[in-house]
């Protein structure tokens, strides 16, 4: 991480002509990891994960993520690993296995690390009964130290969250809540099969605030069938009235070959094309800028005084599978079906299928299905890509000091490519030893990052 400094923020408005942006849009990774998950291989499995975990020592800081793959009904746009069910007992049985996995993971580590950040995601973690949530956190405390200032966060689906759950979460120690909204327009909600009123959403947010939650985040999606600039504007007006501390705004990734249920959203209205996506995003950004939010990296927004906004301005932003985060530690340990871990030197993913994950855990094995150990070159390129994704710029001296390499020699081909083919997006200042995204390049930062990706990215979601 860099020292505290004042960085230019990502532009808060999309002040670029649609055809210019559209001409640069192309599929690619979102760089929540590098190498991207498409490079994870079955050859890196439980043994590789065990040796990475063994290197985590007493008192080391870790982030912990637990994946809860249940929702009480399926949203048709959903791109997550999720099972729709109303059988809450599945949640209890799932937590039984999760606690066994936690014991395996903790047992593989060399001591008692500190969990400085813990997130429950899914799916819908609120699918779990209060008692199951409590025994999960109790077991985390059993194996790890949770310092008093640790941040415990949870994703909530307002359609399925009871007031007493919020009270219980506060009592357990949760302080950050991420509330899924996506879109408040009734026609869009019918198309995506997700009916959620602004009143129900407001009730969850107000209850969380009243119970002392520090941070309320809201998730939105643009690019859904049926969305128009006018409908998205109305959704944003409603969202601004909810006054979240942060927002994550994701472009809808329509991948029906991977998620067949997504074909259902095409039945009533076509999936917006790239120019339409751009106009929808323009409305989102304008409304949030008008309301005083600043943009954090590619797709997050926050109030100027928010810790995420301060981290962004000071070059302390991190990026992992949860998106942009205040950088606390390089180690993210994921538990639960499909969860991904990052030791700083390797990534690994658990079995996606809940049954396969359960069988491995019950057999006493770390339930790892694939992963990748980072070569020195991967670690170097990851640093470059993550700083670009977080800061929109890169100082050669920072890379040289950290990795002991001559930047311009090591990345001669990339710098030539940037200057020749990406001059509209990035300025290469050899004299000052820096790459800086242009205002246009900030909106297309994934394209700039991809120049440093040696795995020749060509698949993923559109870059806008
Ligand atoms: S609530 Fe979220 S995870 Fe669950 S089905 Fe809907 S989009 Fe998917």
- Tokens 């899914």 label which residue? 122
Q: Other C-beta atoms within 10 Å of 457: how many?
A: 20
Q: Based on the domain organization, do 342 and 439 belong to the same domain?
A: no
The alpha carbon of 307 and the centre of ligand 1 are apart by a number of angstroms equal to 27
pLDDT for 72 equals: 93
Number of structural domains, the chain?
2
Q: Based on the domain organization, do 367 and 384 belong to the same domain?
A: no
CATH number, position 427: 1.10.10.920
The alpha carbon of 85 and the centre of ligand 1 are apart by a number of angstroms equal to 12
Q: In this structure, are residues 403 and 374 in contact, taking their beta carbons and an 8 Å threshold?
A: no
- Atom nearest to 182 CA in ligand 1: 7
Per the domain annotation, does 301 fall within a domain?
A: yes
Joined together, the tokens standing for residue 178 give 């991420």
Please say which residue of 331, 350, 373 terminates a domain: 373
Q: Based on the domain organization, do 267 and 402 belong to the same domain?
A: no
Q: In this structure, are residues 34 and 381 in contact, taking their beta carbons and an 8 Å threshold?
A: yes
The alpha carbon of 415 and the centre of ligand 1 are apart by a number of angstroms equal to 41
Q: What DSSP character marks residue 12?
A: S
Per the domain annotation, does 15 fall within a domain?
A: no
**Ligand 1 within 6 A of CB of 157:** yes
Q: Based on the domain organization, do 55 and 94 belong to the same domain?
A: yes
Spatial CB neighbours of 233, under 8 Å, sequence gap ≥ 6: 283, 287
The alpha carbon of 178 and the centre of ligand 1 are apart by a number of angstroms equal to 13
Q: Which H/E stretch holds residue 436?
A: strand 434-437
Backbone torsions φ then ψ of 315, nearest 5 degrees: 70, 25
Per the domain annotation, does 239 fall within a domain?
A: yes
Q: What DSSP character marks residue 10?
A: P
- For residue range 243-266, list pLDDT tens digits in order: 999 999 999 999 999 899 999 998
Please say which residue of 373, 389, 407 terminates a domain: 373
Pocket test for ligand 1, best of 68, 84, 122 (most atoms within 8 A of CB): 122
Per the domain annotation, does 276 fall within a domain?
A: yes
Alpha carbon distance 13, 286 (integer Å): 6
Spatial CB neighbours of 441, under 8 Å, sequence gap ≥ 6: 392, 422, 424, 425, 426, 447, 448
pLDDT for 87 equals: 95
Pocket test for ligand 1, best of 157, 219, 259, 265 (most atoms within 8 A of CB): 157
The alpha carbon of 124 and the centre of ligand 1 are apart by a number of angstroms equal to 7
Q: Based on the domain organization, do 114 and 207 belong to the same domain?
A: yes
The alpha carbon of 249 and the centre of ligand 1 are apart by a number of angstroms equal to 15
Per the domain annotation, does 6 fall within a domain?
A: no
Predicted structure pTM score: 0.94
Q: Based on the domain organization, do 316 and 443 belong to the same domain?
A: no
Q: What DSSP character marks residue 393?
A: E
**Ligand 1 within 6 A of CB of 71:** yes
pLDDT for 343 equals: 96
pLDDT for 432 equals: 94
Residue ID of nearest Cα to ligand 1 atom 3: 123
Per the domain annotation, does 220 fall within a domain?
A: yes
Alpha carbon distance 248, 263 (integer Å): 25
Pairing of strands 368-373, 426-429: unpaired
Measure Cα distances from 414 to 4, 36, 210, 408, 429 in Å.
28, 19, 51, 9, 13
CATH number, position 343: 3.20.20.70
Backbone torsions φ then ψ of 364, nearest 5 degrees: 80, 20
**Ligand 1 within 6 A of CB of 182:** no
pLDDT for 268 equals: 82
Q: Which domain holds residue 345?
A: 34-373
pLDDT for 3 equals: 43
pLDDT for 328 equals: 76
Q: Based on the domain organization, do 206 and 119 belong to the same domain?
A: yes
Spatial CB neighbours of 138, under 8 Å, sequence gap ≥ 6: none
Please say which residue of 373, 401, 432 terminates a domain: 373
pLDDT for 267 equals: 87
pLDDT for 9 equals: 79
**Consecutive sets of 10 residues in the chain, 464 residues long: mean pLDDT of each?**
59 92 89 94 95 95 97 93 93 98 96 95 95 97 95 96 96 96 95 95 97 96 97 97 96 92 91 95 97 95 94 92 87 97 97 97 98 97 97 96 97 94 94 95 95 77 63
Per the domain annotation, does 55 fall within a domain?
A: yes
Q: What DSSP character marks residue 146?
A: -
Alpha carbon distance 182, 223 (integer Å): 10
pLDDT for 322 equals: 87
- Atom nearest to 77 CA in ligand 1: 7
Q: In this structure, are residues 298 and 31 in contact, taking their beta carbons and an 8 Å threshold?
A: no
The alpha carbon of 74 and the centre of ligand 1 are apart by a number of angstroms equal to 6
Q: Based on the domain organization, do 379 and 457 belong to the same domain?
A: yes
Per the domain annotation, does 125 fall within a domain?
A: yes
The alpha carbon of 49 and the centre of ligand 1 are apart by a number of angstroms equal to 29
Residue ID of nearest Cα to ligand 1 atom 6: 75
Residue ID of nearest Cα to ligand 1 atom 2: 123
**Ligand 1 within 6 A of CB of 80:** yes
Residue 207: CA count within 13 A, CB half-sphere: 19
- Which residues make beta-bridge pairs with 435? 394, 428
Q: Based on the domain organization, do 309 and 433 belong to the same domain?
A: no
Joined together, the tokens standing for residue 141 give 């405390």
CA end-to-end span of the chain: 27
pLDDT for 458 equals: 57
Q: Based on the domain organization, do 163 and 219 belong to the same domain?
A: yes
Q: Based on the domain organization, do 434 and 286 belong to the same domain?
A: no
Q: Based on the domain organization, do 312 and 345 belong to the same domain?
A: yes
Alpha carbon distance 363, 40 (integer Å): 23
């Amino acid at each position: 991480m860099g020292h505290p400094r004042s960085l230019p923020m990502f532009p808060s408005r999309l002040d670029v002509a649609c055809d210019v942006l559209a001409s640069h849009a192309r599929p690619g990774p979102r760089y929540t990891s590098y190498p991207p998950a498409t490079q994870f291989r079955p050859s890196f499995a439980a043994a590789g994960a065990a040796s990475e975990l063994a290197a985590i020592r007493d008192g080391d800081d870790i982030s912990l993520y637990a994946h809860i793959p249940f929702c009480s009904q399926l949203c048709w746009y959903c791109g997550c690993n999720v099972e729709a069910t109303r059988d809450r007992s599945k949640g209890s049985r799932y937590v039984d296995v999760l606690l066994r996995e936690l014991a395996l993971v903790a047992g593989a580590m060399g001591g008692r690390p500190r969990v400085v950040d813990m997130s429950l995601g899914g799916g819908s973690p609120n699918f779990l009964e209060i008692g199951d949530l409590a025994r999960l956190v109790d077991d985390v405390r059993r194996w790890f130290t949770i310092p008093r200032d640790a941040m415990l966060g949870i994703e909530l689906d307002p359609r399925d969250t009871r007031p007493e759950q919020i009270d219980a979460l506060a009592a357990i120690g949760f302080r950050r809540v991420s509330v899924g909204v996506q879109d408040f327009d009734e026609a869009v909600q019918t198309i995506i099969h997700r009916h959620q009123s602004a009143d129900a959403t407001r009730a969850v947010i107000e209850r969380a605030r009243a119970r002392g939650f520090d941070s309320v985040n809201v998730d939105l999606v643009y690019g859904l069938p049926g969305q128009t600039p006018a409908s998205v504007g109305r959704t944003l007006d409603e969202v601004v009235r909810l006054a979240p501390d942060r927002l994550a705004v994701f472009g809808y990734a329509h991948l029906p070959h991977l998620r067949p249920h997504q074909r259902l959203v095409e039945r009533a209205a076509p999936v917006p094309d790239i120019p339409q996506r751009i106009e929808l995003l323009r409305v989102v950004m304008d409304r949030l800028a008008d309301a005083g939010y600043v943009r954090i990296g590619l797709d997050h927004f926050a109030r100027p005084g928010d810790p995420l906004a301060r981290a962004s301005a000071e070059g302390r932003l991190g990026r992992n599978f949860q998106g942009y985060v205040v950088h606390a530690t390089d180690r993210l340990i994921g538990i639960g079906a499909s969860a991904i871990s990052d030791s700083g030197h390797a990534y690994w993913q658990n079995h996606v299928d809940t049954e396969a994950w359960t069988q491995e855990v019950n057999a006493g094995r770390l339930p790892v299905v694939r992963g990748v150990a980072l070569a020195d070159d991967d670690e170097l390129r990851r640093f470059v890509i993550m700083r670009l994704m977080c800061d929109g710029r890169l100082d050669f001296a920072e890379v040289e000091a950290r990795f002991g390499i001559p930047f311009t020699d090591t990345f001669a081909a990339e710098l030539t490519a940037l200057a020749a083919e990406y001059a509209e997006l990035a300025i290469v200042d050899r004299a000052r030893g820096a790459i800086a995204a242009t205002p246009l390049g900030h909106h297309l930062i994934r394209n700039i990052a991809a120049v440093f990706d040696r795995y020749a990215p060509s698949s993923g979601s559109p870059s806008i």
